[in-house]
């Protein structure tokens, strides 16, 4: 495809773009199997992942998603330039050590590494048909197995129904393991909003915020899929006791939530609108957690929400 002129290039549909990339990479890597497959991601987002598997190479085969490359193509980047980037990613990753799949098949090994994540139940109808989960309000706790792969750091494997059947366990069994593992492997972190703003802006923004208007960000130590900390025992109760009030929980995204005292002057319906507006304008579609606010009841330890979306 390198000889195609710009007019013909601009006529390529996304499907044609994927086909050309696959064919060109196959020609450049004659002894590799190159495929493009549709991959179901969180919030039922579907992406097209290109995989390159060389005979005798690593059994780790990360997908290179083509949607972002197609956007670059539409903005003038050449096919040849895009293919060079894809090949450089492949060359960088191909020497990585292989993963011990035999260990992964062993439930005793996997059980110590199972963690949960929180996702929207309504936005993941297709995904939740393929993976085990435990409902939590209008959300769902799904499961991943943390694995150490040299060169890839703390990688993880999404647990599918086939894995659960292979291990001979159930969704409740996965959840029981995750309740023990997740706080230990991914400990919670709470920062005040003033601290977060100061870190982001490199200044002293927010330091004079009145105590009765304090806001906090809850995530895990890695800052990745930290909204699951809502399920950690004692975390919400500890903060509620500290501020002496119930808590409003504003879903920032799947990576964290904002917590604030639920006091009389706050309009829950207004908070709902803010969450929806932020989701529409600023949050990546794969990372939206919820469109409304939750409330933690200090006295009972319950989390509630208004399914009608008009406040608590």
- DSSP secondary structure string for all residues of 39-76: EEEGGGEEEEEEEEEETTS-S----EE-HHHHHHHHTT
Whether residue 223 has pLDDT greater than 60: yes
Predicted pLDDT of residue 264: 74
Which pTM does this prediction carry? 0.82
Per residue in 111-144, pLDDT (tens digit) is 999 999 999 999 999 999 999 999 999 999 999 9
- Phi, psi angle pair for 288, to nearest 5°: -70, 130
pLDDT in tens, 178-222: 999 999 999 999 998 776 655 555 544 444 444 445 899 999 999
User: Residue 233: is its pLDDT beyond 70?
Assistant: yes
Burial zone of 156 (CB within 10 Å; 0-12 exposed, 13-18 middle, 19+ buried): middle
Q: What is the pLDDT of residues 86-105, one digit of tens each?
A: 999 888 766 555 667 788 99
Number of H helices and E strands in the chain, helices first, is: 11, 13
The confidence score (pLDDT) of residue 3 equals 46
Token pair for 13: 């549909």
**Residues 182, 187: Cα–Cα separation, whole Å:** 7
Distance between CA 301 and CA 78 in Å, rounded? Answer: 56
Contacts of 187 (CB under 8 A, 6+ apart): 220, 221
pLDDT at 254: 97
Token pair in block for residue 119: 């996702």
C-alpha 255/C-alpha 91 separation (Å) is 30
Return all residues near 164 (Cβ < 8 A) that are at least 6 apart.
132, 170, 171, 174
Cα within 13 Å of Cα(221), Cβ side: 7
């Amino acid at each position: 495809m390198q000889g195609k002129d710009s007019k013909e290039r601009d006529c390529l549909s996304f499907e044609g773009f994927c086909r050309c990339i696959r064919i060109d990479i196959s020609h450049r890597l004659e002894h590799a199997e190159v495929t493009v497959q549709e991959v179901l991601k969180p919030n039922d987002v579907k992406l097209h992942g290109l995989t390159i598997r060389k005979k005798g190479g690593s059994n780790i085969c990360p997908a290179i998603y083509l949607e972002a490359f197609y956007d670059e193509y539409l903005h003038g980047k050449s096919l040849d330039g895009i293919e060079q980037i894809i090949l450089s990613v492949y060359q960088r990753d191909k020497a990585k050590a292989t993963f011990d799949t035999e260990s992964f098949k062993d439930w005793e090994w996997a059980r110590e590494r199972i963690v949960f994540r929180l996702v929207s139940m309504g936005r993941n109808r297709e995904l939740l048909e393929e993976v085990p989960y435990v409902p939590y309000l209008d959300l769902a706790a799904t499961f991943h197995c943390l694995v150490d792969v040299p060169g890839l750091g703390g990688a993880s494997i999404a647990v599918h129904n086939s894995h659960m059947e292979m291990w001979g366990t159930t969704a409740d069994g996965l959840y029981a393991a995750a309740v023990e593992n997740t706080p230990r492997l991914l400990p919670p972190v709470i920062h005040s909003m003033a601290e977060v703003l100061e870190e982001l802006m490199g200044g002293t923004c927010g330091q004079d915020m009145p105590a009765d208007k304090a806001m906090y960000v809850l995530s895990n130590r890695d800052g990745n899929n930290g909204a699951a900390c809502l399920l950690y025992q004692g975390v919400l109760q500890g903060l509620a006791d500290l501020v002496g009030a119930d808590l409003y929980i504003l879903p920032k995204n799947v990576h964290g939530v904002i917590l604030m005292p639920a006091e009389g002057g706050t309009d829950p319906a207004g908070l709902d609108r803010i969450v929806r507006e932020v989701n529409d304008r600023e949050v990546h579609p794969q990372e939206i957690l919820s469109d409304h606010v939750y409330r933690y009841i200090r006295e009972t330890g319950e989390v509630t929400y208004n399914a009608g979306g008009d406040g608590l």
